[in-house]
Structure 1
Amino acid sequence: MILDRFCLHILPKICDTIECLDLGSSSMKHILRTTHYPNLYTLGLYNIDEKSVRSLFTDEILSSDIFKNQITRLLITINKNDDYGMMLEIQSFNDCLHLLDGRFNQLHTLYVDLVNLRRPHEIQNQGDLPNLKCFSLSCVYATYYYNETILPLLYRMSNLEELDLYFSVEVDETFIDGNYLKKNIINRMTRLNQFTFYIPSIMSTRKEMNFPSTEDIQRTFIDFPANKIISYLDYFPEIKQSRCHIYSYPSFMPYYSDITNNFPGGLFQYVRVVSLYDEHPFEHEFFLRIVQSFPFMEKLSLKNNKSQNRKQSYESNNDNQNFSVIEYSFLSELVIIDAHDDYIEEFLFDTKTYLQNNIILQINYESLQRVTHNFTTNAARIHSTKISKLYLYGKTKCSNSCLQEYFPYAKICYPDIF
């Protein structure tokens, strides 16, 4: 009723003065169809699903000439589907190419946050985008198709002045470093004056190769046209993989993936999604450093099967001045499916961590059962009441009454069961 009243009685009276609209998926069509917006030049579409995105391409009103010729600044975030089994089926890079097929001819600025960067199946890159001056592309998942997706798209933007790239890349033989960025991006964009990025590259170490050092990578940025570039490498012999992190600093990236104990620190106020991985233990003070570096973190994923070395010393000396309860002020989703029991204690015991309410927790059932002593221990009882959704992996659906009592406000789901 409120939306109808707003669209019928308020928007028609002020439509001539509206220059910017920020809309969600549920209200997008209704508001855009209500009236004409002759002075609208900025359109933000947030947390929208694939169906709503595609309506931009097919709806006669939404894809009319008024939007093609007026919109100069477009911001889009694609909904991360809550159905974890279906999340990866969204072909969102296709959607990005659809938006740049000529339907927004006057587009000056485009910010896109994608679910994935898979190779497009239907639509191919088309003509130049001479009016596009600012482009930002981010993606939470790694892509293997960087050369087939990102580079061809960037080469259509001949007059680009500002560029932001935030995603991970799987590579075969060489890491992405300063030389690569200069050769394939900077030297091909003569008008580019601002380039910020976070591009970790991931490489298999199953075959013998001469891998560079962190110093080797850093030297490729000596004459780089940016304020500060940070790089470091991680090698993981157990999974036979290496990862090279490179990014400009200060950073505006929304994601920071695969953080290890080698993480150099810093302040990342724009990062909302963080993942941790290492083949060495994460001690309690490491998590304190993570919170200090990512104060507005909303989602945290952790993979580490090594037990904490200093756990016992902390437990035997509660007055240890280096030990403090870590507060996650904005955390709303926690993923600790593939992790040692120590890290479940790290996050669920209120003697180590303070969590806010309404947490989504993804976790292994057997690990959770062990740590909570079959859902009876008091150490995690405070945090158990803060869980709003509980995704349990590695166990078929059970009717454990103690489980529901221990998580009284949680909707319990079993993603492994279809």
Structure 2
Amino acid sequence: MNYSTVNILGLCDEILLTIFNKLNKIDVLYSFIGVNQKLDKLAQDCTFTRSVDLVTISSNEDNESRTNSILERFCFDIIPRIQYNIECLIVGPLSTDRILRIGNYPKLNKLILVNLSLKMASRILNKGSFIHIYKHQISHLVVTINDDITAIRIKDVATNIFANILAMFTNLIHLDFNFDDSFVYPPTSFIKLLSTTCQSSRIGHLNVRVRNFDDCLCLLDGRLSQLHTFIVKVDNIDDLSMRIRKKVKNFES
């Protein structure tokens, strides 16, 4: 029986890209960037670098030291090579601080922050340099918070974060701001908030979890004039239909 061996480097670019497209994008970046000039160039194609999902690393790796090793390579070797192509970043608690700190992302317009603690979310979205650098650049922001902090602080800190997002991200058109479903206490209340804080009037899509129906009415008071999609989880509703009839024009149950 005759066997033949084909060197991957001998394949044309079109075939290699077809192979790469069948692989996970993170695997392509990790496996081929820095290997040699040809594979490096193909792996840096915008197909694989436009959107970078680093959450998949921690979700697929059971070995913590292995996960940290992979993230370290992304932070200090891979991201610096592809940062100018990145339009979307998906990061979790293990990678958020490092990735947002080390990169320069001139094309970044979509940021997805997954399972952050309130402390980390507050540091990034209230106090960090990131928000000041990219406040005019981010158009899509998704924030999911997963924390076991006490109920009262959840409400206060979450409301402050939300208020700062509205005030700082002037070109935001899509905002998802939610807590993990494990929270039993309604975290975010907007009563008396938007009267002083609402710069992101361009928001067309809003997905948020609120304390009660009055918070919905507060968000729908007209300041978000471009809003066309409103997805809301209301934790506490009392006499809903009666209150809607009183406060919302042209309501039909």
Give the Cα–Cα distance (whole angstroms) in 2 for the partners of residues 112 and 133 of structure 1: 14
Q: Write out aligned runs for 1:234-245 (5 A).
A: none
Higher relative contact order, structure no. (Cα contacts within 8 Å, ≥ 6 residues apart)? 2
Using a 3 Å threshold, how does the CA distance of structure 1 residues 177 and 4 change in structure 2: closer, same or farther? same
Give the Cα–Cα distance (whole angstroms) in 2 for the partners of residues 17 and 64 of structure 1: 21
Displacement after TM superposition at 1:117 (Å):
3.7
Amino acid at match of 2:175: L
Q: For the pair shown, which has the larger CA radius of gyration, 1 or 2?
A: 1
Displacement after TM superposition at 1:183 (Å):
5.1
In structure 2, the residue matched to 1:12 is: 80
Amino acid at match of 1:57: N
Give the Cα–Cα distance (whole angstroms) in 2 for the partners of residues 136 and 123 of structure 1: 17
Displacement after TM superposition at 1:150 (Å):
3.4
Using a 3 Å threshold, how does the CA distance of structure 1 residues 138 and 21 change in structure 2: closer, same or farther? same
Whether the aligned pair in 2 keeps the contact of 1:41 and 1:71 (CA below 8 Å) is yes
Flag the structure with higher strand content.
1
Q: How many percent of aligned residue pairs carry the same amino acid?
A: 27
Give the Cα–Cα distance (whole angstroms) in 2 for the partners of residues 3 and 53 of structure 1: 20
In structure 1, the residue matched to 2:153 is: 89
Please state whether the residue corresponding to 1:63 is helix, strand or coil: helix
Give the Cα–Cα distance (whole angstroms) in 2 for the partners of residues 163 and 118 of structure 1: 16
Displacement after TM superposition at 1:98 (Å):
2.0
Q: Write out aligned runs for 1:262-281 (5 A).
A: none
5+ residue gaps, structure 1:
188-218, 222-418
In structure 2, the residue matched to 1:207 is: none
In structure 2, the residue matched to 1:135 is: 206
Q: Deviations over 1:337-358 (max 9, x none)?
A: xxxxxxxxxxxxxxxxxxxxxx
Whether the aligned pair in 2 keeps the contact of 1:19 and 1:41 (CA below 8 Å) is yes
Flag the structure with higher helix content.
2
Whether the aligned pair in 2 keeps the contact of 1:15 and 1:36 (CA below 8 Å) is yes
Give the Cα–Cα distance (whole angstroms) in 2 for the partners of residues 178 and 15 of structure 1: 52
In structure 1, the residue matched to 2:59 is: none
Amino acid at match of 2:207: S
From 10, 16, 30, the equivalent of 2:98 is: 30
Using a 3 Å threshold, how does the CA distance of structure 1 residues 181 and 163 change in structure 2: closer, same or farther? farther
Using a 3 Å threshold, how does the CA distance of structure 1 residues 104 and 182 change in structure 2: closer, same or farther? farther
1:107 aligns with 2:180: no
Using a 3 Å threshold, how does the CA distance of structure 1 residues 181 and 108 change in structure 2: closer, same or farther? farther
Number of aligned pairs? 175
RMSD (Å), alpha carbons: 2.9
Q: Deviations over 1:132-163 (max 9, x none)?
A: 11111125xxx35x42x332233321111111
Give the Cα–Cα distance (whole angstroms) in 2 for the partners of residues 181 and 121 of structure 1: 19
From 41, 46, 49, the equivalent of 2:117 is: 49
From 134, 140, 143, the equivalent of 1:76 is: 143
